[in-house]
Amino acid sequence: MAKLVAAVGTPHGPMLPQQVAEAPGKLRSEYLMKQVREHLERAEADLLFVVASDHFTNFFYNNLPQFCVGAIEEAEGPAETYCVMPRRQVKGQPDVAKGFLHYGLRSNYDLAVAEELHLDHSVMVPLHFLVHSTDTPVVPLYVNGLAPPLPTARRCFGLGQTLRKFIEEWPGNQRVALLASGSISLEVGGPRVGTTDKKWVDTVTDLLERGDYRGLARRATAERMAAAGNVSGELLCWITVTGALGETRPSFVEREEGSGFVAWNLE
């Protein structure tokens, strides 16, 4: 059976790769990404689920899934004009992705599926910093954290629980890691740009540190997340991942502005 060996969570600022390229060694975010990468590398995972929110790259209001698993052979990214970083081919793992699609349907999670994706910065920026090898296959799992109405935190947490069960029942020997991509408090393009809801960032990171993932899912109402910024619904990606963690507390937690950098060792 496959095994869940690690999880990590980081933000995915689309400007970060360029900022780091222009001033290497200067930014705390670069240092924290490196710390998280070292945790992930120690786990020697050979399959990575990336839980992220599409930023109107694959999905738009004409067709906008709340949950979508990417059953890609491979995909390229980032596609956006505003994310300057080396474009990269990412190898998928469609048998596992489709396995999870079926498992979700049987478990009351009616996932959408995408067999072709243009991976956006929410997937590519964390991969750029955390996964240097292009050999590790990736299964993107998109959670709508950006275009309200959003799924509830309770449903996202349950999806993570379902993902854990799926991994443990999957008849392979993969060592699986999960990556939660997103900010905790962030406003993009709205009137509150430049403000951070520090109280919410502290609340969320404290709950993560204590391993109180159910408490986090209870507190992360649509209203509370929206009050923390117009893309703070990306926290739902984190909540999805915490649903897979059982009682395991993180081994690494750092805050940086409206974001967290976190790593869990599950062995």
Partner 1 sequence: MSVYEMNKLLYRTERDEDFRRRIQADPGQVLLEVSLSDEERQALTTGDLHKMFHMGVHPFLLNHLPRHGLFGVTRENYLPRIRGEQSPVS
Question: Contact with partner 1 (CB under 8 A): which of 63, 133, 189, 247?
Answer: 189
- To the nearest whole angstrom, how small is the minimum distance from the Cβ of residue 96 to partner 1? 28
Question: Contact with partner 1 (CB under 8 A): which of 112, 188, 227, 253?
Answer: 188
246-264 b/e (C-beta count within 10 Å ≥ 16 → b): eebebeebbbbbbbbbbbb
Stretch that binds partner 1, among 35-43, 80-88, 102-110, 171-179 (CB under 8 A): 80-88
| Number of residues forming the site for partner 1 (CB under 8 A) | 21
Binding mask 191-210 for partner 1 (x = CB under 8 A): x-xx----------------
Report if residue 81 touches partner 1, rule: CB under 8 A: yes
Report if residue 12 touches partner 1, rule: CB under 8 A: no
Binding mask 221-260 for partner 1 (x = CB under 8 A): ---------xx-----------------------------
Task: Return phi, psi of residue 144, to 5°.
Answer: -70, 105
Q: How far apart are CA 18 and CA 16, in angstroms?
A: 5
User: Closest CB to partner 1 among 30 and 120?
Assistant: 120
Which parts of the chain fold into alpha helices (H)?
A: 16-22, 28-42, 94-106, 121-130, 153-169, 198-210, 213-219, 222-227, 235-242
Report if residue 55 touches partner 1, rule: CB under 8 A: yes
User: What pairing do the DSSP bridges indicate for beta strands 112-114 and 67-70?
Assistant: parallel
Task: Return phi, psi of residue 172, to 5°.
Answer: -135, -175
Torsion of Cα atoms, 53 then 59 then 62 then 67, to 10°: -50
Report if residue 79 touches partner 1, rule: CB under 8 A: yes
- To the nearest whole angstrom, how small is the minimum distance from the Cβ of residue 93 to partner 1? 26
Positive or negative torsion for Cα 205, 207, 211, 213: negative
Q: How far apart are CA 247 and CA 143, in angstroms?
A: 23
Site residues for partner 1 per CB under 8 A: 55-57, 60-62, 79-82, 146-147, 187-191, 193-194, 230-231
